[in-house]
Amino acid sequence: KSPDGSHLLRSAQYLHKELPVRIAHRIAGFRNLPFIVGCNPTILAVHELYTQTFYLLTEIPPVTDFDSESRYSETVQQVLDDHKDVVTQLAAGFKECRKHIKQDELVKTFLDRTLTSRLGMRMLAEHHIALRKDRPHHVGIIDTAMRPKDVIEKWADFVRQVSVHKYGKAPPFKYNGHLNCSFPYIQMPLDYIIPELLKNAVRATVENHMDSPESSLPPVTITIANNDIDFIIRISDRGGGI
């Protein structure tokens, strides 16, 4: 961060140029879908949302000062809010027209590119919004002292509650390795990945030990390994394998 706040202007100016380009690529992706898929009402609604967003962002004047940056940031936040349900909508749309899809590889490529692009755009947009806030140990969405164990424990507690609600029991979590390590990192990708891996491990453990009381369930073991180059998270369970 710069003392005079010029980092906000540079970030907004970059987004002002970059976001419309990325959205235009996604619109082109929608237009290349098979006709019967692109006409699905749910998918068409997402297509139209991207088109509206493109025009919204291209009609905003360039960011030249803090007033225009503030107005632009409000628009970016609006876009984030408008697009929060896009993944759910796409999933529903492709489920609705699944029986009409003959070009599986084309659709797979479209979804891979759309979801990857969406994650990148949200990271850029949320980073800019976060730059406007003063959070300890953070520069935008970058946590300058992220502790993997804290992130995992947060999601482990969530997954445990889900398991107890569904099955009436949940296995314990066991941690080992470099539990106190910390380093600069963007937490957002972990917030997508960690809960899904933990849910898979917990579900397999419980369903493979349905006749066992909670006190006898084997633990889900999380190992954290960190050195000067890499950090590795390993989640191990005794759920019977694939």
pLDDT in the model for residue 2: 66
List the chain pLDDT tens, one digit each, 242 residues. 667 778 999 999 999 999 999 999 999 999 998 888 889 999 999 999 999 999 999 999 999 999 999 999 999 999 999 999 999 999 999 888 888 777 778 888 899 999 999 999 999 999 999 999 888 888 999 999 999 999 999 999 999 999 999 999 999 999 999 999 999 999 988 998 999 999 999 999 999 999 999 999 999 999 999 988 889 999 999 988 76
Strands 220-226 and 173-177: parallel
pLDDT in the model for residue 219: 97
Distance of CA 119 to the CA centre of its chain: 6
Matching fold, domains 6-134 and 142-236: no
Question: Is 80:129 a contact under the CB 8 Å cutoff?
Answer: yes
DSSP string spanning 172-188? -EEEEESTT--EEEE-H
Residue 105 in tokens: 């590889």
Q: Rg (Cα) of the chain, in Å, rounded? A: 22
3-class secondary-structure state, position 167: helix
pLDDT in the model for residue 195: 96
Task: Write the secondary structure of 22-65 as one string of H (helix), E (strand) and C (coil).
Answer: HHHHHHHHHHCCCHHHHCCHHHHHHHHHHHHHHHHHHCCCCCCC
Domain 142-236: CATH class, spelled out:
alpha beta
**CATH level 3 topology of 6-134:** Butyryl-CoA Dehydrogenase, subunit A; domain 3 (1.20.140)
Domain boundaries, the chain: 6-134, 142-236
